[in-house]
Amino acid sequence: MNNDEQERLLLATLEQTQEQLLTILERLVGFHTESPPARNTNELQLYLKETLEKLDFTVETAPFYRQDTLLWATKEGTDPEHYQSLIWNGHVDVAALESLANWQTNPFELVKKGSRLFGRGVSDMKGSVACVIWLVQTFHQLKIHLPGTLLLQSVVGEEAGEAGTKKLLESGQTADFAIVGDTSDLQFQGQGGVITGWIQLKSPETFHDGNRMKMVHTGGGLFGANMIEKMTILIQALQTLERHWGIMKSYPGFEHGTNTINPAYIEGGIHPAFVPNNCRLWITVHFYPNESIEQVTSEIEAHILATAKADPWMKENLPTFEWGGESMLVDKGEVFPPLALDPTHPAMLELAKSHEAQTASKPTTTMSTSVSDGGWFGAYDIPAVVYGPGELLQAHSDNESIELDQLLTYSKILGIFLLRWLSTKKTV
């Protein structure tokens, strides 16, 4: 069977077996993998392991956090040394249910209403995972064997800034190209980076609130300060720097001012009988693909320290900084590296052809205002794109839904791309 015949047979089979996609997605949605609380993906990953082993994948797993598992499955090509390889990456944790009373259906039951499918994760991103499982199941059914190697990564932790994808890549997993199937509405997406950080002010002394008058009024003579009030000075300084960044920095594909500094959470004080002796501010920093974590954190620290040194109390008690982390749940920090796109990469060109063939339009290339695990591929120098079904508006929403037709289209695009890319010889 030649390539054209394989493609026609694949597309026809996908048209005829749509119920298999719905069956897989129904099963995936039925697993309660909300994050937070997380620590609940073992059963889903076991289901994927058993399913992929039946399709002749070599499946391996590794424990992540308690009751969470990372999974990767390899279908080695018939001539991997000479043909292109691919990683397809997806996460199986889903957003927490913040307003269950607003749901019109059971979030963990797949419900079809007209052309739309409802259920937690259908858009972000169990729908995409279901497409890939259905696709490789169809390849197996049709006895399609390709010369290039396919590596599927089913990770967890993305919803809580837990670097499951990083763990797999730092172990040495690699390929000639990667597709992160996260929510992009079938657009080619790169992304900026995100890092969270804590700014802390701490007084060397603790005072009863009855001493406040001596700290703030003429003649009081007590050298002390309210840490919450001092933190408001630093918040204003962050806003000044944020506006400066918006004026002076830009990157193709981003709206001006996308590089934000968000004061997201603040904690401090003991109780009303004390002058607050401690205050911590948790910030979220968005930055562009041509910037590094070290660059943006250094800029923030320099600006905040300059502000503090202009204050009589803070210059003697400078703020401290903590950056990043590996879990919003464990160490209250996260890092998502940026992902720059190379539109001239052969895999991008091939994926664009497959997209246009199924949609009758060229793919839109954008830079996401959100972040995903796509940035880790950029950090490990693996060419990649974020490309998946689902709308960002639906991700994390009440009554999350997706168009069935978009899942079918994505499956067809990805299927044709796999046939072609994994049959493309490596360049010397």
CA 182, chain centre distance (Å): 8
Report helix, strand or coil for 101: helix
Measured CA angle at 112 (ends 107, 115), to 5 deg:
130
Amino acid identity of 352? Answer: A
Q: Is the dihedral of CA 114, 117, 123, 126 positive or negative?
A: negative
Tokens of 78: 């018939």
Tokens of 281: 């501010």
Tokens of 309: 């040194």
**Nearest-angstrom CA–CA distance, 378 and 375:** 5
Q: Which of 7, 34, 68, 93 is catalytic?
A: 93
Active-site residue flag, 185? no
Active-site residue flag, 93? yes
Tokens of 185: 């509405």
> Which position has the token pair 């320290």?
305
Q: Which of 7, 68, 124, 158 is catalytic?
A: 158
Closest by Cα among 231, 237, 216 to 277: 231
Q: How far is CA 9 from CA 16, 143, 272, 415, 424, in A?
A: 11, 11, 72, 11, 20
Residue 288 and residue 245 in contact, taking contact as beta carbons nearer than 8 Å: no
Closest by Cα among 41, 43, 159, 32 to 106: 32
Residue 388 and residue 180 in contact, taking contact as beta carbons nearer than 8 Å: yes
Residues in CB range of 428: below 8 A, 6 or more apart = none
- Beta bridge partners, 180, equal 89, 386
Residue 125 exposure: Cα atoms within 13 Å on the Cβ side:
31
Q: In this structure, what are the phi and psi dihedrals at residue 251, rounded to the nearest 5 degrees?
A: -155, 140
Closest by Cα among 127, 124, 62, 149 to 368: 124
Please provide the size of the chain in residues.
428
Catalytic residues: 93, 158
